[in-house]
Amino acid sequence: MSAVLSGRRMAETQMTLTLEAFAPSDTPTVVNGQETFPGTSQGTTPGKIHGQSKLSAQPYTRTVSIGGADVPIVEAGLHLPIAAPIPTAGEYGKGWEYVVIGVSETDDPALLGRRYLVANSPAMSHATARRLDVAEVPR
């Protein structure tokens, strides 16, 4: 077994959250005067939320506008298995979102119900996990 495959298995053991993935629809609806594109469920996947490093001098370098507010993007903030569907990035209401629908006993229960908008889905060779740049959608 290669070191990459071994690393993937190890990374997946730490993906203890259950996330429901939503791909944007092409048909807009208007809710409270704001046009949104309700997502279509793509099923569930295990995952892990990874916060920005506290060692970084400038932890947030980019933002995305969500509901008129600038929200920081956390680089590599959401980890998914490599086998998970490849999401596309987009602006609020037009990009993939992941919702935490299940937590394990080792996870912070405050993660339950949180939503994350995919801002970028970088790819790399020899990856042990799919690491997505995300912004948390305010509740």
Strand partners, 137: 115
Q: Indicate if the pLDDT at residue 118 is higher than 80.
A: yes
Domain segments of the chain: what residues?
Answer: 3-137
Distance CA 62, CA 36 (A): 22
- Is the pLDDT at 59 greater than 80? The verdict is no
φ, ψ (nearest 5 deg) of residue 8: -65, -45
pTM, rounded to two decimals: 0.83
81 or 138, higher pLDDT = 81
Long-range pairs for 57-64: beta carbons < 8 A, 24 or more residues apart: 62/119, 62/133, 63/135, 64/91, 64/92, 64/117, 64/119, 64/135
Please report which confidence band the pLDDT of residue 83 belongs to, taking 50, 70 and 90 as the band edges: very high
Class of 3-137 in CATH:
mainly beta
